[in-house]
Homo-oligomer: A and B are copies of this chain.
């Protein structure tokens, strides 16, 4: 007799390696068909469960599933869709359990950030109350690296590597042009609340004078005068200045620099873009020629320069989640525990969902240099192993090969439509 089915969903902003986690889940489940008959994936995340729109991964070839390991984006579709509290929206939770029941789904794997861990916990509770207990496992994912308990989050290592490599490369470009052209270069990176990604840019600098010369963290209130003084000093001392700025950089009053910003031709405040704000500040006050780049989605989808550590960990948390489920665990998630820095060694443990749900981990102050513009040796010790190693995708005609799924739908069994 085959086992019950599993439901897997991707949630929130995707990463370069979230599909490596999906690969870990599906490949591991396929080895235990006696317990897990099949893995259904939510089309567009949890919405796929609510609307009974699931992809039958059992119809995919082993080679396609293996190719997920090197395919960026969210192969089944993700969703920015947060289930509300149980009291506020009991209908959604009940629908979820009805769908699980109709498809004999006994395992729920939810691959996301802290919101998703909260949802997985609630589903676990309500499923028991409704007399159809489902084993609910979270699987961590976020480029922001802001989950507590786990030493780091799958997805972060690759964006960190992208930002560090890009900073180093662009710095060499700017340095060579500084005599007659661009003197200041600004790279805007993600991290609305926490400066982990911006900190990773700091890995590009190894000795005094190396770029990046300035990092603007969300954790450190921005002070214009001190910033401009530092820019001038860098251009005087090193001939150029490379700045990595977090999209979450803000003034002491909490206002984002990006909001201080620009207006369109009609006078409307323009959304986003902290880099042009910083660039204009440099231009108006110091007059240096500048350039800026906004990495945006490129940084979190750059599977071509993924960290080998990150790919391995992303796969490992997927595999571990299935193994925990097979051991009968529920309401837990696999977390990464660092065993040592040098040589870097790590292992996977399980942690209760409740310890992670709805909490954020900021960059600790001891990772930021005393002037607030750089990273400390402690930060470097933490970050360096996470970007280590390259895991290149295969290429065909100059472009990365990616998984092309059939994405066959599981036949709906419930008559009723559900509108989300």
Q: State the A residues within 8 Å of B (CB).
A: 10, 13-14, 16, 44-45, 47, 71-81, 161, 164-166, 168-182, 185, 187, 203-204, 260-265, 267, 270, 272-273, 275-276, 280, 291-298, 300-305, 307, 384, 387-390, 392, 395, 397-400, 402
Q: How far is the CA of A179 from the CA of B187 in the complex (A)?
A: 29
Q: Known contacts being A176-B14, A270-B262, A397-B388, is A304 close to B165, with CB within 8 Å? A: yes
Q: Say which residue of B81, B267, B270, B304 sits within 8 Å of A305 (CB atoms).
A: B304
Task: Output the least CB separation between A273 and chain B (Å).
Answer: 6
Q: Is the CB of A14 within 8 A of B173?
A: yes
Chain B residues near A76 (CB-CB < 8 A)? 176
Pull 13 A–B residue pairs with CB atoms less than 8 Å apart, ordered by A.
Answer: A14-B177, A44-B179, A72-B172, A73-B172, A74-B173, A164-B399, A166-B302, A170-B301, A173-B297, A173-B300, A262-B276, A293-B294, A307-B398
Chain B residues near A77 (CB-CB < 8 A)? 175-176, 178-179
Q: Is the CB of B293 within 8 A of A264?
A: no
Task: Output the least CB separation between A285 and chain B (Å).
Answer: 12
Chain B residues near A170 (CB-CB < 8 A)? 296-298, 301
Q: Is the CB of A400 within 8 A of B301?
A: no
Q: Is the CB of A264 within 8 A of B262?
A: yes
Most chain B CB neighbours (cut-off 10 Å) among A10, A174, A399, A400: A399
